[in-house]
Chain A
Amino acid sequence: MSNKEESLGHVSHLECLNCGEKYTLQRLIKEQGSILVNICYDMCMGPLDVKYDYEGICSILTQEEISKRPDTFWKLKELLPANEINVASDRPFTPLVESKEIGKKLGIRLYFKLDCNNLPTSSFKDRPVALAFNRAIESGYDTVYVASTGNLAIATAFQAMECGFKIHAYVPNSLGKIKKDAIRKYLPHGTFNELDLSYDDCNILSMKECDAHNEASGKKHCFVPNNSFRPFYKEGSKTSGFEIAFQLQKKGISGEAHVFYPLGSGALFCSAYKGFNELGMLGLSNLKPRMWGIQPEQCSPIIDAIGKEDIVPVKNPKTIAKSIAIGKPGSGHQSLDVMAKSNGGGFKVSEKEILENNLDLYFSEGIFCQFVGGTVMAGIKKAVKEGKIKKGEVVVANITGTGKGRIEDDLLEISEEFGYKEKAEQLLKEVGAW
């Protein structure tokens, strides 16, 4: 037991998102020997959420105080589970830019939140991974296990290298060569395991190996960022919501805005919503986000569960939007709640629509992104077409990962299939990948 764990910034307790059971830090240490617990172990096994002493924070985070602080990742450090800042100390906000063409064509005020720019490994995963490592450093861990379709492993490998951690990465064989190379780039102290398994199975294997290693060594020094520390890891993604709210505010936008995210596990979607809500609760933002989640038709367990009781997992999901090919979404039920509470919703889109919109984002806006970008854009067009978004309304498209060094091989393959080979070749020539 570490004394450092008895308090954690302004965290008051952990709370089950399903049954509401509360776990104080003292209770977690007494019952589990650590605050690093990921499920409601005493009741329903549901996901845990980090709660804060909002009354105390309210007196610190005033409008005046906020306006003095630079626009960096830890701007609202009181709303993140950390005692000290150990990583990403001066990381700037990612840009929020207005659409040049697509917005006008659709008759909406469209903004792109570019997590594909400015983050160290060019995907939103740098957000939660920073929080996981911050916690790991505070708790004396030194080894990380990770399963990934690409972005998480790349972000984890980078952070492990920065912090001097050992890393063991598990990736499905189906992952493109380019993504594999991107992970290897940051693996000076680790192993890279390519497996003939789906992402979900790689995930289970990484947890087992991590567990076995901790058992064998008799002390907890290994972790899986999105699993072992999941409640703390997810908090990093709240910063997406914080940034969007502040950036829209600076552009004079308040009130209702449609915010679109791609949905894999749903964790980013739910965490960003929590971030928006916390700002609202503290009186720091008047934004009323309507949350929309988009999945590919080939892997849409969350969208298919809208209006139903349970989420039916997808076995061996196959979509070109590989970073959201998650058959058993960990935050699926919570995502459905967020859609309902925020008066938003969800759509699923075809592989062809994803490709066409990825190309449109590049040729109309100069954004070369992963296929999750095309997925989101296709969802926005669907929402406009179906009248869910009215003319002139504010829409934010979250572009959560770069295309560069990630999707070039997949882009060529799928473009040929749908008759866009020439366009894809032109894109790749222009970005210097051809």
Chain B
Amino acid sequence: MVKVHIPTPLRRLTGDKAIVDVNGKSIREIIEALEKAFPGIKKRLCEEDGSIRKFINVYVGEEDIRFLDGIDTEVRQEDVNLVPAIAGG
């Protein structure tokens, strides 16, 4: 099981849970698993073509998947963090 951290505004889809456990060996599989458990979450996270929306940063452990293999990044023991792209100011 992989622990996925859900950003606050999306928690109404996860029954207010901040961290959820799902099965999956890659970010792609994890998103599918999230959608099964919490219908509607995928369309918030992904474009129609299945790619991750540009306003979402996905981290496997401490690493942004943009610097790894994108949506096909493998996930083993690490936590997955979904973080809205908000920084600086």
**Taking CB as reference atom, which chain B residue is nearest A28?**
B9
Bound CA span A186–B56, Å? 33
Q: How far is the CA of A201 from the CA of B61 in the complex (A)?
A: 11
Shortest C-beta distance, B14 to chain A (Å), equals 12
**Contact A18/B88 with A32-B12, A41-B44, A208-B5 known, Cβ cut-off 8 Å:** no
B38 at the interface (CB under 8 A from A): no
Q: A312: which B residues are within 8 A, CB to CB?
A: 66
The answer, among B9, B12, B64, B83, for a CB contact under 8 Å with A313, is B64
CB proximity of B10 to chain A, nearest CB, Å: 6
How does the 8 Å CB contact mask read for B50-68 relative to A, with 1 for contact and 0 for none? 0001111101001010110
Given contacts A39-B9, A41-B10, contact A234 B44 (CB under 8 A): no
Interface string of B1-45 (1 = CB under 8 A from A): 000010111101000001000000000000000000000000011
Q: Confirm or deny: A45 has a beta carbon within 8 angstroms of a beta carbon on chain B.
A: yes
Interface centre among B10, B62, B86 (most CB of A within 10 A): B86
Name A's interface SS. loop
CB-defined contacts of B64 to chain A, threshold 8 Å: 313, 315, 328
- A143 and B46 CA atoms in complex are apart in Å by 34
The stretch of A49-57, A225-233, A370-378 in contact with B is: A225-233
Q: Residues 198-230 of chain A: 1 if any B CB is under 8 Å from the residue's CB, otherwise 0?
A: 011101100110010001000000000111001
Knowing A41-B9, A201-B62, A211-B8, say if A333 contacts B54 (CB, 8 Å): yes
How far apart are the CA atoms of A152 and B59 in the complex, in Å? 24
Instruction: Return the contact of B44 from the options A45, A226, A267 (Cβ within 8 A).
Output: A45
A330 on interface, CB distance cutoff 8 Å: yes
Among candidates B5, B53, B59, B83, residue contacting A44 with C-beta atoms closer than 8 Å: B53
Q: Is there a chain B Cβ closer than 8 Å to A264's Cβ?
A: yes
Task: Number of A interface residues at 8 Å Cβ cutoff, please give it.
Answer: 50
A266 to B85, CA, bound (A): 13
Contact A204 B55 (CB under 8 A): no
Taking A32-B12, A211-B8, A313-B66 as contacts, is the C-beta distance between A44 and B88 under 8 angstroms?
Answer: no
**Interface residue ranges of A267-301 to B (CB < 8 Å):** 267-268
Q: Are A328 and B9 neighbours in the complex by a CB distance under 8 Å?
A: no
Do A37 and B62 have beta carbons less than 8 Å apart? Answer: no
The answer for the CA separation of A39 and B57 in the assembled complex, in Å, is 13
Give the Cβ gap from B3 to chain A, nearest Cβ, in Å: 13
Pair B54/A39 contact, Cβ less than 8 Å: no
A215 to B87, CA, bound (A): 22
Q: Is A38 interfacial (CB 8 A cutoff)?
A: yes
Contact between chains at B18 and A226 (CB < 8 Å): no
Say yes or no: is A46 at the interface (Cβ < 8 Å to chain B): yes
Q: Across the interface, name the chain A residue whose C-beta is closest to B86.
A: A330
When distances are taken between beta carbons in the complex, the residues of chain B under 8 Å from A47 are 55, 86
A46 to B45, CA, bound (A): 11
Contact in complex: B88, A329 (CB < 8 Å): yes
A207 and B83 within 8 A (CB) = yes
- Nearest-neighbor residue (CB-CB) of B7 within chain A: A39
Least CB distance, B43 to chain A, in whole angstroms: 8
- State A310–B85 Cα separation when bound (angstroms): 13
Q: Report the separation of the CA atoms of residues A247 and B53 in the bound assembly, to the nearest whole angstrom.
A: 41
* Distance between A313 CB and nearest chain B CB, rounded to angstroms: 6
Chain B, residue nearest A125 (CB): B89
The smallest beta-carbon distance between B88 and chain A, in angstroms, is 3
Identify the B interface with A (CB < 8 A). Answer: 5, 7-10, 12, 18, 44-45, 53-57, 59, 62, 64, 66-67, 81, 83-89
A-B contact pairs, 18 of them (CB 8 A): A31-B12, A32-B9, A39-B7, A41-B9, A42-B44, A45-B45, A125-B89, A208-B81, A225-B89, A226-B86, A227-B86, A227-B87, A266-B88, A267-B89, A268-B89, A326-B88, A329-B88, A331-B89
